[in-house]
Amino acid sequence: MQSPSSSFRRRGTSQTYTGLGMVDALTLVEYVCAGQIVVTEAVWTFVQGRLPALTQVISLGTHQLRGLKEPQCLMELSPSCISGRTFPPVPSAHCLVPGYRQAPSLLNPLTIMFAKSPPCPAAPEGITQEEFENLYNQVVTAWCDLVRRLLIRFNGYECKEPERGKFTLAFASYKSAMAFAVTAQENLMHLDYPDVLLQIEECREETDEETGQLLYRGLRASVGFCYGWANFQKPLVNTGRADYFGNLPNRAARLMGVALPGQIITEGRQLHQLLHNSLPDLEPQYINILKKCDGRKHESFIGLARLTAGVQDAASEGSSSRKVQDSPNSLTQFSDAKKVLALDYMIQFDLDPETLDYMIQFDLDSRFEKEVAVLPIEGNKETVGPVRVRGMGAFVLKGILEPVPLAEVSIPALAKRSKNPKAVKCIPEMAFLSKDIAMQPVLAPCSHKDIEMAFLSSSGSADNKNQANGD
């Protein structure tokens, strides 16, 4: 251990060390096993650039050691020749932050979460950008402290903070991860913010016009998380903490990437099994879609996603007399919708009618809204909730070649925050609603009224038919 209050004196060829640092080192050695090398974080920071190559570093966590006033972050160092040795946990009075060996195990599925605060925006009038960035950094520090406090409460694990305010987190329990996310978003509104920060558009206070409920205030973090199996786990070279690799963390990163500031996004396909059996069971449909598209490298989904921008351009150019509205639930209001793509698109992307119908149904089933009962917190008697879950349909995400059903999570009080994610829909919503209007597409994004008028027109009402066609 390092301590500025230590000293030594020479007696011939020998040296005698005394002081608080020596006492602390003698206290620490009582917690070290035979054959183990343990240093404090301060020592590790000092020596990490001087160690032999291939030295393994493992975080043992932060502990309250008997006989020491301050908590100690401990690191285990192992030369490559003995890196296979394993040791029992540190027998401390209290483990404040878990170490590498206490991270969620690869032997079971786990939840990976990415959460980040937005970058510093432009300074408002009356303050320089440098002064504003200093204030903003203080607020980001408060966000980081909040994350670490809640991790202890919800049994989470901090893998890394690669950028200031951006975290990779792991949870053994999916419900604990969801409880952490909604609690963090709610508590984030009640941090102590300087008035100048609340003046800018990105952090200003917003309330529900009808109820007066607070919706936004201060930093707006983006959160994405998903559940599954990680491929492998290893300690990070600079911190010794556990990090996970494979498809699972990649998907979680993509989910955070499409979440808007203040939004929580998760995958919707396993909510029936993981959260509540009243939610749609999308997993069987998801597996069947992968089977149907096996061998095509999912080019159909990618192509359809690319068409969305073109469909929206056509809507804005071809129907300038009608306001085109964005409504993610357009098709869910009408169960008789038969087709969502023109025949030439089907041919272009090799979508047979059966696969197309299956994709349409999967997208429709992925759209729902439900309030779920309180979430129990694993390891204690505390609960969080109820929680509101809104399925938004199937999307194509960067780096993922299959359609991903997305769901937004919040507490009911923040339901008015609901917005569409920064992602492209898997199915461009060009609805062919009946054989009577088979070649008159309602170009999406479209409003509920647009589709309702289209259905009325198919029942024979000439007046409504004209309205549906935009005349």
pLDDT tens readout for residues 231-259: 999 999 989 999 999 999 999 999 999 99
Q: What is the pLDDT of residues 96-123, one digit of tens each?
A: 999 999 999 999 999 999 999 999 999 9
- Average of pLDDT values for 316-327? 35
Asked whether residue 127 falls in the same domain as residue 256, the answer is yes
| pLDDT at residue number 377 | 73
Residue type, 16: T
Is 314 inside a domain boundary? yes
Is 68 inside a domain boundary? yes
| pLDDT at residue number 341 | 39
Residue type, 206: E
- Average of pLDDT values for 128-134? 94
> How many domains does one find in the chain?
3
Asked whether residue 208 falls in the same domain as residue 152, the answer is yes
| pLDDT at residue number 348 | 43
Domain of 471, in residue numbers:
296-353+431-471
Is 237 inside a domain boundary? yes
| pLDDT at residue number 3 | 54
| pLDDT at residue number 196 | 93
In the listed set 102, 120, 153, which residue is the last one of a domain according to the structure? 102
Global confidence as pTM: 0.78
Angle between helices 129-153 and 174-188 (to 10 degrees): 140
Asked whether residue 77 falls in the same domain as residue 164, the answer is no
Is 115 inside a domain boundary? yes
Is 173 inside a domain boundary? yes
Asked whether residue 68 falls in the same domain as residue 203, the answer is no
Q: Which pLDDT band, with edges at 50, 70 and 90, does 18 fall under?
A: low
| Closest alpha carbon to 271 in 409, 382, 109 | 409
**Mean pLDDT for the chain?**
78
Is 336 inside a domain boundary? yes
Residue type, 237: V
Asked whether residue 122 falls in the same domain as residue 224, the answer is yes
- Helix (H/G/I), strand (E/B), else coil: 163: strand
Asked whether residue 83 falls in the same domain as residue 211, the answer is no
Q: What is the CATH classification number for the domain harbouring 132?
A: 3.30.70.1230
Q: Which pLDDT band, with edges at 50, 70 and 90, does 14 fall under?
A: low
Give the DSSP H or E segment for 56: strand 56-64
Residue 332, pLDDT > 70, answer no
Alpha-carbon distances, residue 454 vs 267, 308, 325, 337 (angstroms): 32, 21, 16, 10
In the listed set 42, 68, 102, which residue is the last one of a domain according to the structure? 102
Alpha-carbon distances, residue 446 vs 316, 327, 375, 436 (angstroms): 11, 6, 36, 20
In the listed set 63, 81, 102, which residue is the last one of a domain according to the structure? 102
Asked whether residue 67 falls in the same domain as residue 122, the answer is no
Neighbours of 349 (CB within 10 A): 18
Which of residues 164 and 23 earns the better pLDDT score? 164
Asked whether residue 68 falls in the same domain as residue 201, the answer is no
Q: Which pLDDT band, with edges at 50, 70 and 90, does 12 fall under?
A: low
Is 361 inside a domain boundary? no
Is 81 inside a domain boundary? yes
Neighbours of 64 (CB within 10 A): 14
Asked whether residue 274 falls in the same domain as residue 370, the answer is yes
Q: Which two tokens stand for residue 200?
A: 């800018």
Least confident segment among 93-107, 264-278, 279-293? 279-293
Beta strands of 176-221 (E only): which ranges?
206-207, 214-216
Asked whether residue 172 falls in the same domain as residue 107, the answer is yes
Tokens 């098709």: give the residue.
331
Asked whether residue 36 falls in the same domain as residue 16, the answer is yes
Asked whether residue 210 falls in the same domain as residue 273, the answer is yes
Alpha-carbon distances, residue 158 vs 34, 95, 153, 188, 332 (angstroms): 29, 14, 13, 18, 39
- Average of pLDDT values for 61-67? 90
